[in-house]
Amino acid sequence: MSSTRFNGKISSIEGKTPFLIGVAGGTASGKSTVCARIMEKLGQVDVDHTERKVVTISQDSFYRELTPAEKIKALKGQYNFDHPDAFNDELIYKTLQDILAGKKVNIPVYDFRTNSRVENENYTIYPADVVLFEGILVFYFPEIRNLFHMKLFVDTDSDTRLARRVPRDINERGRDLEQVLNQYMNFVKPAFEEFCLPTKKHADVIIPRGADNTVAIDLIVHHIWDILHGTHDSHMSKLHLSKRRDSSCSDTLSR
Ligand SMILES: Nc1ncnc2c1ncn2[C@@H]1O[C@H](COP(=O)(O)OP(=O)(O)O)[C@@H](O)[C@H]1O
Ligand SMILES: O=c1ccn([C@@H]2O[C@H](COP(=O)(O)O)[C@@H](O)[C@H]2O)c(=O)[nH]1
């Protein structure tokens, strides 16, 4: 099956409520890759960040600052980054609320090599039409979960995820093999089973095999497109339609 591509650009309206999509799934399940595919198919490649209508934010940006003792543990792979307590859920909630209110937000920059935020560095997310928020525990906190208009769960088997995580953590996150495997066995795997996997039941759409599942991604992209263009009969589409009534939306959709 050939994949669908949307050539039309989504037009933006000041003060709109963005369509907020949560993307959960285990580590290295392909959450970021799925978000990248959705952005590509919505025609968001090569768009300047100030003009972008679809943006992705990672929950990883919201890890809490560690104490000096926790930092020492983290460097030895002995800190549990997969437990809900590792995240600053208040900041996530506030940021998503600001996004829903159509505000510009600053997102912290996280460095996996140092297990901490990059000091005094943020990146700005400008008001967009579609905001994807991806992470292992984005459906864990009920207040945060309830903010999403659509919830996706990327369901990739554990062997594949481990096989992807090992080279990624060694090549991109400055780890060695022993550290990656110890962290996986002691924290990542048990926390996935206790905190992440049970949130799958909250998903509207489960995406088996992640980004390989082009059929699922195409269906999701069509649904987003229909909602944003008012061709889908739902509460959300009415909300977006009414907010868009004054706009001269001349987007085209080529299939
Ligand atoms: N369908 C796929 N086929 C092959 N490699 C993939 C696929 N999806 C993701 N990857 C690779 O696996 C690793 C983790 O993917 P990523 O999308 O970053 O996962 P997550 O965001 O869930 O941690 C990355 O190195 C990525 O390039
Ligand atoms: O300092 C850190 C912070 C997080 N991790 C691991 O990252 C994954 C979550 O990121 P994914 O991109 O979804 O894989 C999580 O499993 C943590 O264990 C880390 O190793 N160090």
CATH number for the domain spanning 151: value is: 3.40.50.300
pLDDT bin (cut points 50, 70, 90) of residue 255 is: very low
Q: Hey, is 118 helix, strand or coil?
A: strand
Given a cut of 50, whether residue 249 has pLDDT beyond it is no
Q: Using pLDDT thresholds of 50, 70 and 90, give the confidence band for residue 227.
A: confident
Nearest ligand (C-alpha, residue 34): 1
Average pLDDT over residues 229-255: 38
Interface ipTM above 0.95: yes
What per-residue confidence (pLDDT) applies to 178? 93
- Identify whether 249 is part of a domain: no
Residue 241 maps to a domain: no
The pLDDT of 45-71, averaged and rounded, is 92
| CB of 112 sitting under 6 A from ligand 2 | yes
Look at residue 232 in the predicted model and tell me its pLDDT.
Answer: 54
Check residue 15 and give its pLDDT.
57
Ligand nearest to the Cα of 32, by number: 1
In a domain, 169, yes or no: yes
CA–CA distance, 54 with 180 (Å, rounded to integer): 33
Q: Would residue 3 count as lying in a domain?
A: no
Element (H, E) at 201: none
Which residue range(s) make up the domain with 192? 19-232
The 3-state DSSP class for residue 7 equals coil
Cα separation of 191 and 84, whole Å?
9
Ligand 1 binding pocket includes 212 (Cβ within 6 Å): yes
pLDDT at position 231 is: 65
- Does residue 240 carry a pLDDT above 50? no
pLDDT tens-digit map of 137-160 = 999 999 999 999 999 999 999 999
Q: What mean pLDDT is predicted for residues 98-121?
A: 95
Q: Which two tokens stand for residue 143?
A: 């207040």
Residue 43 within a domain: yes
Ligand 1 atom closest to the Cα of residue 34 is 17
Total domains, the chain: 1
Candidates 124, 120, 59; CA nearest to 87 is 59
Q: What is the pLDDT of residue 184?
A: 96
Q: How far is the CA of 15 from the centre of ligand 1 (A)?
A: 34
Ligand nearest to the CA of 196: 2
- CA torsion, ordered 203, 206, 211, 214, to nearest 10 deg: -120
Backbone angles phi, psi at 252, to 5 degrees: -115, 155
Rounded to whole angstroms, the Cα distance separating 178 from 170 reads 10
Residues 6+ positions from 203 with CB-CB distance below 8 Å:
24, 139, 151, 152, 153
**For the CA of 31, the nearest atom of ligand 2:** 13
Contact in structure between 34 and 209 (CB atoms under 8 Å): no
**CA 193, CA 29: separation in Å to the nearest integer?**
14
Does the predicted TM-score (pTM) go above 0.90?
Answer: no
* Within-domain flag for 255: no
**pLDDT at site 104:** 95
Hey, CA dihedral for 194, 90, 202, 209, is it positive or negative?
A: negative
What confidence tier does 50 reach under pLDDT thresholds 50, 70, 90? confident
3-state secondary structure of 78: coil
